């Protein structure tokens, strides 16, 4: 009897692991097989028309979105972590409050971020559907990711480094910027990569903030659609299935690059 249970559990483990693997391989294979044949030059023309349904403007908008969002969230996130790790004592009320707030922020669904961004940045600040409204919304959304990973990275810097700095007569600020932060770079980078993945994949938070304009935005005030939003628009129109497959291939490729970068950084971090 015991033997039977053992064998069953053993078999189930292999079967379920196989299911996980097969499901993913199937998704990726299906998209690549159906998408690659549709990847032609007209999808990469710089101007979007209803004829070429080019994804190039969306690709450019995605890059804008990633860079600008990081520009806002990265300093804020890093400064927050520095404050949490280097400046305040454990058990401080303010720290507990910040920690609960970031945990809560991390759990809020992206559509709620979208609503909030629309109400605050779009309407209250009057930015309307614009790149800047999208950037600010996503900036808040990825803040918890940056804070958490940077905090871990700062904590893992050995205290000996800090003490060595102080012993040499450096002030706190100098120790933080010259000694602690550089040693924490790989960890912070891992957080950045995670955040990039999130920005690329985001759509629900952007539809009502950055909007769905299919052209390259000329200013921060222009509406812009990222690649994920572009994919959503295409897949809701029945006659663009081929282009949707092609866009999915490009998105998969981007995520693969992001994941590989994360793995490389992690490896570098450990072996160093």
Partner 1 sequence: MHKFREVFFEYVFMFSAGISILALVMIFVFLFANGMPAVAEVGPINFIFGTEWRPMDATPSFGVLPMIAASIYITLGAIVIGVPVGIFTAVFLAHMCPKWLYAFLKPTVNLLAGIPSVVYGFFGIVIIVPFVREISLALTGGGSGSSMLAAMILLGIMILPTIVNISESAIRAVPESYYEGSLALGASHTRSVFSVVLPAAKSGIFASVILGVGRAVGETMAVVMVAGNQARMPESIFRGARALTSNIVIEMSYAEAGLHRDSLIATGIVLLVFIFIINVAFTIVTRKSRGT
Interface positions, 54-73, toward partner 1 (CB under 8 A):
none
Comparison of 19 and 67: residue with beta carbon closer to partner 1: 19
Stretch of 36-44, 49-57, 107-115, 181-189 lying at the interface with partner 1 (CB under 8 A): 107-115
Phi and psi at residue 213, in whole multiples of 5°? -60, 125
Tell the smallest beta-carbon distance from residue 44 to partner 1 (Å). 19
Figure out which of the listed residues 43, 59, 66, 84 binds partner 1, where binding follows CB under 8 A: 84
Interface positions, 177-206, toward partner 1 (CB under 8 A):
197, 200-204
Interface positions, 29-48, toward partner 1 (CB under 8 A):
30-31, 34
Does residue 255 belong to the site contacting partner 1 (CB under 8 A)? yes
Residue 150 CB partners (closer than 8 Å, separation 6+):
77, 78, 80, 81, 184, 187, 188, 191
Does residue 109 belong to the site contacting partner 1 (CB under 8 A)? yes
Tell the smallest beta-carbon distance from residue 197 to partner 1 (Å). 5
Comparison of 217 and 243: residue with beta carbon closer to partner 1: 243
Does residue 251 belong to the site contacting partner 1 (CB under 8 A)? yes
Q: Please choose, from the candidates 24, 56, 72, the residue with its C-alpha nearest in 3D space to the C-alpha of residue 250.
A: 56
Q: Long-range contacts made by residues 180-184, C-beta under 8 angstroms, separation at least 24?
A: 180/82, 180/86, 180/154, 181/78, 181/82, 181/154, 183/157, 184/150, 184/153, 184/154, 184/156, 184/157
Figure out which of the listed residues 43, 68, 210, 258 binds partner 1, where binding follows CB under 8 A: 258
DSSP-derived letter for residue 239 is G
Q: What tokens does 126 get?
A: 């009057």
Comparison of 50 and 236: residue with beta carbon closer to partner 1: 236
Interface positions, 4-33, toward partner 1 (CB under 8 A):
5-7, 9-10, 12-17, 19-21, 23-25, 27-28, 30-31
Tell the smallest beta-carbon distance from residue 134 to partner 1 (Å). 15
Tell the smallest beta-carbon distance from residue 38 to partner 1 (Å). 13
Does residue 116 belong to the site contacting partner 1 (CB under 8 A)? yes
Tell the smallest beta-carbon distance from residue 244 to partner 1 (Å). 6
H runs (alpha helix) in 56-130: 56-82, 93-107, 110-117
Residue 170 exposure: Cα atoms within 13 Å on the Cβ side: 16
Cα 15 vs. chain centroid, distance in angstroms?
Answer: 32
Does residue 140 belong to the site contacting partner 1 (CB under 8 A)? yes
Residue 25 CB partners (closer than 8 Å, separation 6+):
none
Comparison of 15 and 41: residue with beta carbon closer to partner 1: 15
Based on its alpha-carbon atoms, the radius of gyration of the chain, rounded to whole angstroms, reads: 23
Interface positions, 120-139, toward partner 1 (CB under 8 A):
120, 124
Q: What tokens does 79 get?
A: 């400064």
């Amino acid at each position: 009897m015991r033997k039977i249970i053992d064998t069953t559990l053993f078999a189930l483990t292999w079967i379920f692991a196989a299911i996980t693997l097969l499901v993913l391989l199937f998704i990726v294979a299906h998209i690549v097989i159906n998408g690659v044949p549709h990847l032609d030059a007209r999808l990469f023309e710089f101007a979007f028309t209803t004829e070429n349904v080019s994804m190039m403007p969306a690709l450019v908008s995605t890059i804008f979105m990633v860079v600008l969002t990081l520009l806002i969230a990265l300093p804020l996130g890093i400064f927050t972590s520095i404050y949490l790790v280097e400046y305040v004592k454990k058990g401080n009320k303010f720290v507990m409050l910040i920690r609960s707030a970031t945990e809560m922020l991390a759990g809020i669904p992206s559509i709620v971020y979208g609503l909030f961004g629309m109400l605050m940045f779009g309407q209250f600040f009057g930015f309307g559907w614009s790149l800047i409204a999208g950037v600010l919304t996503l900036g808040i959304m990825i803040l918890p990711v940056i804070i958490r990973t940077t905090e871990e990275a700062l904590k893992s810097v050995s205290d000996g480094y800090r003490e060595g700095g102080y012993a040499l007569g450096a002030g706190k600020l100098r120790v933080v910027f010259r000694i602690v932060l550089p040693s924490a770079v790989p960890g912070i980078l891992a957080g950045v990569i995670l955040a990039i993945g999130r920005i690329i994949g985001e759509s629900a938070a952007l539809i009502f903030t950055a909007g769905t304009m299919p052209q390259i935005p000329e200013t921060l005030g222009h509406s812009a659609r990222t690649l994920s939003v572009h994919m959503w628009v295409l897949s809701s129109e029945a006659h663009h299935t081929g282009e949707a497959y092609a866009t999915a291939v490009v998105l998969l490729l981007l995520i693969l690059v992001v994941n590989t970068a994360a793995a490389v950084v992690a490896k570098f971090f450990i072996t160093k």
